[in-house]
Structure 1
Amino acid sequence: MYAIVEIAGHQFKVEKDQKVYVNRLSAEEGDSVEFDNVLLVGDGDNITLGAPAIDGALIGAKVVKHLKGDKVIVFKKKRRKGYRVKNGHRQYLSEIVIESITASGAKKKATSSKAEAKPKAKKETAKAAPKATAKKASGKADDLKKIEGAGPKAAEALVNAGVDTFEKLAKETPEHISEILSEASSRLAHLVTDTWPKQAQMAADGKWDELKEYQDKLDGGIEK
């Protein structure tokens, strides 16, 4: 039996006992996690397709360890401008092993995965009191687009996850920020957030000149 499941913004074809490397999850090493966004399940000649997900299908896995991926070199050059920038990036990853594939009838545990439970709880809170949340955001929310590398979509994803001020963003880890963005949209999973907490701390402290000087040394939020 095999399945196609979406995990942290990416789709994977998985089988039982298979090891998979996914974008960093917030669960601790050794924790059991479950994923219910199963798009397809195949068992011999029997194939079940979701619309888009299969109701009741569930993938059970265990977090083996957290690690970094291979270094990727990003080289930028502008002709006749003397502009040459070389950056390296290593993606934060989690190694998981697939323990079970349930085609139907499964019920996801409320606290089965920290990576899944935390965003879900925030969405439920926002749904229960939309007027109160909107009022709070409009009165105290900061313009997170001032963070180098954070565009409108990324800022919106952070606000929806409850990270709506520079002070809150400064307390987050780059791994958790990347997780929030990946869960909001697979198109945000590529963003490098290593410098975001540092930038946010400068903004929260009102050190705008220092922040501007620091951002001049960045390229898309990445240190040159």
Structure 2
Amino acid sequence: MFAVIRTGGKQYSVSAGDIITVMALEGAAGDAVTFDEVLLVSKDGGAQIGAPTVAGAKVLGEIAEQARSPKSIAFKKRRRQNSKRKRGHRQDLTLVKITAIEG
């Protein structure tokens, strides 16, 4: 059994026991989280496809960890102008362990 959920503007294919990395969600490690935007639920060879979401379906999870992505560097240089700029960025992420799919 698996489902396709939408969170943080992205879609994820999940099944029970998976650990996914999503954009930052509020809460501490061990807190429960519910994803209500379920786009597809597939079980026993049959699939329920939502228009746009499956009514009554939800995916339950637990926050495993609050983390940050590796640093990405944005370096801009204008040749022969003695001009350069270096900026770094780290995105806040949340690791979520999927516990159950209902619906």
Structure-1-length-normalised TM-score: 0.43
Q: Structure 1 regions of 5+ residues with no counterpart?
A: 104-224
Q: 1:79 deviation in Å?
A: 4.3
Give 2:69's aligned residue. 69
Give 1:24's aligned residue. 24
Q: 1:8 deviation in Å?
A: 2.5
Name the CA distance, whole Å, in 2 between partners of 1:44 and 1:77. 56
Q: 1:2 deviation in Å?
A: 0.9
Give 2:101's aligned residue. 101
Give 1:14's aligned residue. 14
Deviation readout 1:57-88 (Å, 9 max, x if unpaired): 10000011111111112122334433321221
With CA pairs under 8 Å and 6+ residues apart, which has the higher RCO, 1 or 2?
A: 2
More strand by share: 2
Deviation readout 1:158-198 (Å, 9 max, x if unpaired): xxxxxxxxxxxxxxxxxxxxxxxxxxxxxxxxxxxxxxxxx
Give 1:211's aligned residue. none
Number of residue pairs aligned between Structure 1 and Structure 2: 103
Query: Are the structure 2 counterparts of residues 48 and 79 from structure 1 closer, same or farther at C-alpha, using a change threshold of 3 Å?
Result: farther
More helix by share: 1
Q: Which amino acid aligns with 1:2?
A: F
1:1-224 matches, cutoff 5 A: 1-103=1-103
The ranges of structure 1 where at least 4 consecutive aligned residues each deviate by more than 3 angstroms after the TM superposition are 78-82
- Identity %, equivalent residues: 35
Name the CA distance, whole Å, in 1 between partners of 2:32 and 2:87. 35
Q: Structure 2 regions of 5+ residues with no counterpart?
A: none
Query: Are the structure 2 counterparts of residues 16 and 82 from structure 1 closer, same or farther at C-alpha, using a change threshold of 3 Å?
Result: same
Name the CA distance, whole Å, in 2 between partners of 1:93 and 1:46. 33
Q: 1:9 deviation in Å?
A: 2.5
Query: Are the structure 2 counterparts of residues 62 and 76 from structure 1 closer, same or farther at C-alpha, using a change threshold of 3 Å?
Result: same
C-alpha RMSD of matched pairs (Å): 1.5
